[in-house]
C-alpha cells in the first residue's frame, strides 16, 4: 500500500505541554541539558540502497527515493529507533525526530506530499519508543523534540535572479504545511517542537503562526524551541538577518529556547551564541556541526575536539542546552556531555523593557534615543512623487524613495499604498517583496500602513523582521479591535493604536487620554500584548487653519502625550508630524518651523517617535 494510511491516535496518552514545560524548566535550572547529534550522519553509515529506502511498501514508487531520510520512519523504523536509542544512551536528554523534511512542501520532491502527516506521526512515535527503551534501561526520563526543518522554498527571497520580487511559496502555504506537520508530531507523541536550521525567518514566523493556531485548537501549548542558522562568516542568516534581529523577529513565540545549529563548527558559532546569550531572556541552545565540511563533504572534528570547544561555551556561561549537528555521532554527544557537566547552566538575563524591532538589523528603542524618525515619504497619500511612481508601476524608482529616507536617517519607514485606483493589497505585497531584496533598505524595520486591515495583514505575511503595524483602533468597536490586535501579535509585530473609537477621532485632551487608557488595558489584560510594543497616536491635527475649534489641537496632543507617558508604563507616543502644518502646504520654511516648535514641546512631553520627512 502506498497511499497515506489511516492512523489511530489516543489523545489521552499524549504528553501535556504544561507538565513537559515544568519538567524541562526544572531540569534546565539544575544542569546543562543534552540534545542529540546528527541523524543524517548516522543514516549515512548504514549505507542503505534504493531498495532499502523503498522497503516493501514503496517498491514500485515512480521516483527515486534514496536520500529521503524521513521516509525511513516508514520503511526502516527499527534502524531509526535504534539511532535514537544510541543517542539517548550516550547521554541525550532530548532527541530530535527524524522529520526534518516531513512537510507536504518538501515531500513534493518525491511525489510523497500525501505522506507528510504519517511521516511525522511515525517519526515522533519512534523517538517516543526509544525514550521508553532508554527509561527501561536506566530509569531516566527522556524528551522528544519534534523537528521542523527549514523547507526547500523561501517566503522572503526570490529564486529567480531576473525577478527579485518573485516568491516560490506564500506565507499561507507554509502555515498549512507546518500545521499538518505539527499535528502529526503531536499526535505521534512529541513533547515539544523544534524549528531548526532556520534559513529564512519568515518561513519560521509562518511556522510559529501555525503552531499557535494548533495549540489553541488542541487546547494545549507545547514548549517551542527555535534554532537559526548563521550560514557563513558574514555572521548573518541566509535571509540576511543578524542574530539579534532574528531573535527580535521570533520572540513573540515565547520560545523555550533560542539558539543556533548547523553550517558552522563550534568555533565559528561562538560569537553568535555569545550575542544571543546576551540579548535573549530565554534559554539558549547550541548544536554546531563537527566543524566545516572537508573536500569530501565529511566532518572532521573529533568528539574530544568538539567537546573542548563547547566546554568553552559552558565555562563562559552561554549554554542551557547543547548537542551536535552534521557530522556529530553518539561518541561526540558522550564527550560533550562529559565536558559540560562540570559547569552551571547559563542564567537567563534580565533584559530591559524596550521596544525591539528589526529588519535585517535590530532596532532597540533604548533610553539613549530621544526620538525615532519614521520616514513618511513612502506613502502614496503623503507624497505625490511616490504616488505617481507606484501608480505607474515604477517600483525601481519608488524603492529609491525608500532608500533616500534610510540614507537621510529614517530609523523606520512607513509604507502606505492606499490608492483608490490600485489593488493596494497586491501592490503592498509586490513592493515589500521587492524591498526585501535591497539590503540597504531592508536593514531597517518597516511600518506597514493602511486603513484596510487586509492590506496590513498581507504586508505582515511578507516581512521577516519585526514590523510596526500602522494602525489599529476601536473605531469599529472593542471586539474588532481585540481581534485585529490578536492577529498583529500572532505575526509578531508591534502596533500603533490611534485614539479613535466608535464616536470618532479624539480631538480633546480628555478623549485622547480616555481612549488610549482603555486600549492599553484591553491590550495588556485581554490580549497579553507587551506594553512596550504599543505605540499610541493621539492624533496630530492641522492647526492654524482659520477655524476656531482647531486652535487647541496642538496643545491637546502634547498634554495627552504627557499624561499617557506618565500613566501607561512602557507605551510609546507617535504621530504624523506633517499633518500639523497642512494649511501651509507648499510653504516649506513655515512648515519646518512649525514642526520644529511642535516637536520641541512634544518630545519634552514624551513623544518618542514620529512620522516625519526624514
Contacts with ligand THG, residue ranges (CB under 6 A): 376, 379, 382-385, 449, 470-471, 496, 498, 537, 540, 575-576, 578-579, 585, 611
Shorter beta-carbon distance to ligand THG: residue 152 or 579: 579
The CA distance from 431 to 94, in Å, is 43
Q: Cα(445)–Cα(465) distance, rounded to whole angstroms?
A: 7
Minimum CB–partner distance for residue 472 and ligand THG (Å): 10
Q: Compute the distance between CA of residue 376 and CA of residue 497 in angstroms, rounded to an integer.
A: 17
Task: Locate 277 and state its grid cell.
Answer: 546569550
CB of 531 to ligand THG, least distance (A): 18
Q: How far apart are CA 401 and CA 470, in angstroms?
A: 19
Q: Which is nearer to ligand THG, 452 or 585 (CB)?
A: 585
Neighbouring CB atoms inside 10 A of 397's CB total 13
Q: In three state form, how does the secondary structure of 109-164 look?
A: HHCCHHHHHHHHHHHHHHHHHHHHHHHHHHCCCCEEEEEECCCCCCCCCCCCCCCC
Rounded to a whole number of angstroms, the minimum distance from the CB of residue 585 to ligand THG is: 4
CB of 377 to ligand THG, least distance (A): 7
Nearer residue to ligand THG within complex by CB, 225 or 571: 571
Q: Cβ of residue 350: shortest distance to ligand THG, in angstroms?
A: 32
**Residues 132, 99: contact at Cβ < 8 Å?**
no
| Closest CB to ligand THG among residues 305, 371 | 371
How far apart, in whole angstroms, are the C-alpha atoms of residue 386 and residue 345? 53
The CB-of-205 to ligand THG minimum distance in angstroms stands at: 23
Residue nearer to ligand THG on the CB measure, 496 or 607: 496
Q: Which is nearer to ligand THG, 29 or 593 (CB)?
A: 593
CB of 233 to ligand THG, least distance (A): 40
Whether the link from the prior residue into 357 is cis, omega within 30° of 0, is no
CB closer to ligand THG, 234 vs 451: 451
Per-residue exposure over 287-325, b if at least 16 CB sit within 10 Å of its own CB, e if not: bbbbbbeeeeeebebebebbbebbbebbeebbbbbbbbb
Give whichever of 39 and 427 is closer to ligand THG, judged by the CB atom.
Answer: 427
For residue 394, give every residue at least 6 positions away whose Cβ sits within 8 Å of its Cβ, in sequence order, or none: none
User: Cell 507605551 belongs to which residue?
Assistant: 571
Tell me the torsion sign for CA atoms 183, 185, 189, 190: negative
CA separation for the pair 100, 82 (Å, rounded) = 18
Amino acid at each position: 500500500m502506498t497511499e497515506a494510511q489511516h492512523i489511530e491516535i489516543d489523545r489521552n496518552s499524549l504528553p501535556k505541554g504544561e507538565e513537559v514545560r515544568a519538567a524541562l524548566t526544572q531540569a534546565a535550572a539544575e544542569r546543562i541539558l543534552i540534545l542529540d547529534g546528527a541523524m543524517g550522519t548516522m543514516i549515512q553509515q548504514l549505507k542503505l540502497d534504493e531498495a532499502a529506502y523503498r522497503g516493501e511498501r514503496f517498491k514500485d514508487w515512480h521516483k527515486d527515493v534514496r536520500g529521503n531520510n524521513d521516509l525511513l520512519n516508514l520503511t526502516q523504523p527499527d534502524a531509526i529507533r535504534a539511532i535514537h536509542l544510541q543517542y539517548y544512551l550516550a547521554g541525550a536528554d532530548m532527541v530530535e525526530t527524524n522529520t526534518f523534511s516531513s512537510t507536504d512542501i518538501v515531500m513534493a520532491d518525491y511525489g510523497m506530499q500525501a505522506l507528510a502527516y504519517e511521516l511525522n506521526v511515525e517519526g515522533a512515535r519512534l523517538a517516543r519508543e526509544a525514550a521508553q527503551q532508554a527509561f527501561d534501561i536506566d530509569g531516566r526520563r527522556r524528551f522528544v523534540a519534534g523537528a521542523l526543518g527549514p523547507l526547500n522554498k523561501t517566503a522572503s527571497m526570490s529564486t529567480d535572479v531576473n525577478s527579485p520580487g518573485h516568491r516560490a511559496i506564500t506565507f499561507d502555504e507554509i502555515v498549512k504545511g507546518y500545521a499538518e506537520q505539527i499535528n502529526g508530531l503531536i499526535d505521534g507523541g512529541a513533547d515539544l517542537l523544534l524549528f531548526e536550521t532556520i534559513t529564512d525567518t519568515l518561513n519560521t514566523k509562518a511556522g510559529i503562526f501555525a503552531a499557535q493556531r494548533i495549540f489553541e485548537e488542541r487546547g494545549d501549548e507545547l514548549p517551542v524551541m527555535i534554532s537559526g542558522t548563521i550560514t557563513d562568516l558574514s555572521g548573518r542568516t541566509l535571509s540576511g538577518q543578524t542574530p539579534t534581529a532574528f531573535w527580535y523577529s521570533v520572540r513573540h513565540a515565547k520560545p523555550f529556547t533560542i539558539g543556533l545549529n548547523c553550517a558552522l563548527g563550534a568555533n565559528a558559532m561562538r560569537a553568535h551564541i555569545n550575542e544571543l546569550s546576551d540579548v535573549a531572556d530565554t534559554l539558549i541552545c547550541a548544536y554546531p556541526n563537527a566543524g566545516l565540511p572537508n573536500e569530501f563533504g565529511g566532518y572532521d572534528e573529533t568528539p574530544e575536539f568538539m567537546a573542548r570547544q563547547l566546554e568553552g561555551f559552558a565555562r563562559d556561561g552561554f549554554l542551557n542546552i547543547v548537542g551536535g549537528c552534521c557530522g556529530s555521532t553518539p561518541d561526540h554527544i558522550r564527550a560533550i556531555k562529559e565536558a559540560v557537566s562540570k559547569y552551571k547552566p547559563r542564567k537567563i538575563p534580565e533584559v530591559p523593557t524596550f521596544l525591539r524591532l528589526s529588519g535585517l538589523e535590530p532596532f532597540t528603542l533604548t533610553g539613549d534615543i530621544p526620538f525615532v524618525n519614521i520616514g513618511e515619504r513612502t506613502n502614496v497619500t503623503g507624497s505625490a512623487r511616490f504616488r505617481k511612481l507606484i501608480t505607474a508601476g515604477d517600483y525601481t524608482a519608488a524603492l529609491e524613495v525608500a532608500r533616500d529616507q534610510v540614507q537621510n536617517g529614517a530609523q523606520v519607514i512607513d509604507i502606505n499604498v492606499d490608492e483608490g485606483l490600485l489593488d493596494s493589497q497586491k501592490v503592498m505585497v509586490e513592493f515589500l517583496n521587492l524591498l526585501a531584496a535591497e539590503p540597504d533598505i531592508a536593514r531597517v524595520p518597516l511600518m506597514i500602513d493602511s486603513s484596510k486591515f487586509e492590506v496590513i495583514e498581507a504586508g505582515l505575511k511578507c516581512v521577516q523582521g519585526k514590523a510596526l503595524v500602522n494602525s489599529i483602533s476601536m473605531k469599529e468597536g472593542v471586539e474588532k479591535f481585540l481581534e485585529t490586535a490578536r492577529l498583529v501579535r500572532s505575526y509578531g509585530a508591534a502596533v500603533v493604536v490611534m485614539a479613535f473609537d466608535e464616536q470618532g477621532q479624539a480631538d480633546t485632551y480628555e478623549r485622547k487620554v480616555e481612549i488610549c487608557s482603555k486600549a492599553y488595558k484591553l491590550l495588556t489584560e485581554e490580549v497579553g500584548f507587551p506594553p512596550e510594543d504599543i505605540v499610541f497616536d493621539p492624533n496630530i491635527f492641522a492647526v492654524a487653519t482659520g477655524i476656531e475649534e482647531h486652535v487647541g489641537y496642538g496643545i491637546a496632543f502634547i498634554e495627552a502625550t504627557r499624561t499617557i507617558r506618565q500613566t501607561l508604563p512602557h507605551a510609546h507616543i507617535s504621530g504624523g508630524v506633517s499633518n500639523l502644518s497642512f494649511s501651509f502646504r507648499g510653504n516649506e520654511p513655515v512648515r519646518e518651523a512649525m514642526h520644529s516648535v511642535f516637536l520641541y514641546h512634544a518630545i519634552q512631553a514624551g513623544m518618542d517617535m514620529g512620522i516625519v520627512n526624514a
